[in-house]
Amino acid sequence: MDQKKLEDELIFFNDNVTNNDTLKDKPESKYKVLIVDDEEEVHKLTELVLKDFVFEGRKLDFLNAYSAEDAKLILKAHADICLALLDVVMESDDAGLKLVQYIREEIQNTFVRIILRTGQPGIAPEREIIANYDINDYKEKTELTSSKMFTSITAALRSYRDLVTIYNRKNRLRKVIAATSSLFKPKSILDFAEDILSQFKDLLDIKGKSGFFYAVSTSENSDVVSDYTIVYSAGNLSEARGKVLAEVLDKRSMDLIDKAEKTKEVLIDDNIFIGYFETTNGNRNIFYLENGESFQDIDNDIFGLFLKNVAIAFDNLALNIEVSETQKSVVYMLGEAVEKRSHETGSHVKRMTEISCMLGKALGFSDKDIEYMIIAAPLHDIGKIAIADSILHKPGKLTFDEFEIIKTHTTEGYNILKSSNRPALKIAAAIAYQHHEKWNGKGYPLGLSGEKIHPFARIVALADVVDALGHKRCYKNAWRFEDILELVKSERGEHFEPRVVDAFLDNIEQYKQIYRNGV
């Protein structure tokens, strides 16, 4: 028998009933008992004695083998055998004992309960067999009266039930631990909700019709249930996103959520599972799962533990988002401060960053790279803090010497940022240094060309120019959109990388929106 097959069968066993996946759907399913004996009469007598046996509402289903080899074939075909009644002496004096070793050692089935039966106790002494073989009971065939058989079978099935219960709970706990490890990976709130619902679906073994959603309260009033807004949904409830609970659920479900919120515990009612948790900042959260059939065999303590881990992960995620947003705000404010010192509008850095991200996405940059762009691009002109006001604020055309001084803002910006080991700031240093380089090698300060220019700097070069031309500066008026477009086309392969120009032209409608709205 395949050990993996055995485990797959057991994972669906009901902790309280001890049966397989079929058992959950068919209450009349029976416990499988394997009778291994070379005497036909023993099979008939055993079945006769046990024909009315019932354990926890289920009868027995007998499988018959007349040799150890027959038994091996049956064990391979039926991974969910609960009990084996084995004769010791069959095709050989120790055939039953070898079969025990096969079950425990070769196919590693530690769940099936084994009762050895013998008509020749002298061949296999009881004390020696009990000590050396992993069996659960050892009986002489003459001992197996109806009452003793009932006692032995009941004890064996109880032992089997308890083993499967332990296995199932251990497996669920393993799943919870595995699921918890994924919770702490960086992600967005929506990705987090999707991941949690996926984990719940796996932990609850949900099949068939089902619906899921994650909702968060928008009110601090703990007596109000209807104020929850659904931020993520899937399955039969996929259309619920953005709605409040009262728009989606019936009174029964609303009452259950109210109860879960008041008890602050996992709640299961027939086909509905509700997980409730609160975060340290006071947010109230609901995970709601509606199954096509009743939930069975749910361990509230394990799911309660999982929800506690969810709450911790959610707090960490919220903190990370807050830190990230704070970092972005600081970067924007720093970039805007530099622009305002140049008498430019502070919105330039936001628009330019928006255009840069648009181009990065069009060129296939990863989500992580786009995050770096959001932090790095606003710092492209940070070196202007080293330029004298008399030059920055000059309304007319700069002299050659003044322009040479202006050009140093690239080097100054690089020197400010280059010492950081943070990936985003390393990119920011490259952008500050190279965003005035040109594809044809005629830019400054290094005269780099083509692929030698940092990819982020190539994007920012175009984004910076088109936004600067589209808005009024102290030394010029805003250009018309059509004129900006013509310049970009004419500078393809000259000032700007051809691929960046193509990405800009392919997304011109999105640029128009940024151009008109000013971000």
Token pair of 185 as six digits: 């990976």
Greatest C-alpha distance within the chain: 116
Token pair of 300 as six digits: 């509230």
How many other CB atoms are there within 10 angstroms of residue 280's CB atom?
11
H/E run at residue 3: helix 3-10
Residue showing tokens 């990230």: 324
Catalytic residue among 32, 201, 350, 384: 384
- What's the chain's Rg over C-alpha atoms? 36
Contacts of 49 (CB under 8 A, 6+ apart): 144, 146, 149
**How far is residue 456's CA from residue 431's CA, in Å, rounded to a whole number?**
6
Nearest to 102, CA basis, from 133, 58, 144 = 133
**How far is residue 117's CA from residue 126's CA, in Å, rounded to a whole number?**
10
Residue 264 annotated among the catalytic residues of the structure: no
**How far is residue 89's CA from residue 74's CA, in Å, rounded to a whole number?**
19
Nearest to 370, CA basis, from 324, 410, 310, 312 = 324
* Amino acid found at 402: E
How many other CB atoms are there within 10 angstroms of residue 515's CB atom?
18
Half-sphere exposure of 355 (CA within 13 A, CB side): 34
**How far is residue 382's CA from residue 408's CA, in Å, rounded to a whole number?**
11
**How far is residue 62's CA from residue 47's CA, in Å, rounded to a whole number?**
7
| SS3 of residue 195 by DSSP | helix
Contact indicator for 398, 406 with CB cutoff of 8 Å: yes
**How far is residue 458's CA from residue 436's CA, in Å, rounded to a whole number?**
9
Nearest to 33, CA basis, from 15, 17, 20, 47 = 47
**How far is residue 503's CA from residue 354's CA, in Å, rounded to a whole number?**
14
Nearest to 356, CA basis, from 429, 462, 427 = 462
Is the C-alpha dihedral spanning 415, 417, 420, 421 positive or negative?
negative
State the SS3 of 271-301: CEEEEEEECCCCCEEEEEEEECCCCCCCCHH
Contact indicator for 227, 244 with CB cutoff of 8 Å: yes
Contact indicator for 232, 190 with CB cutoff of 8 Å: yes
Contact indicator for 50, 153 with CB cutoff of 8 Å: yes
Q: Which residues are catalytic?
A: 384
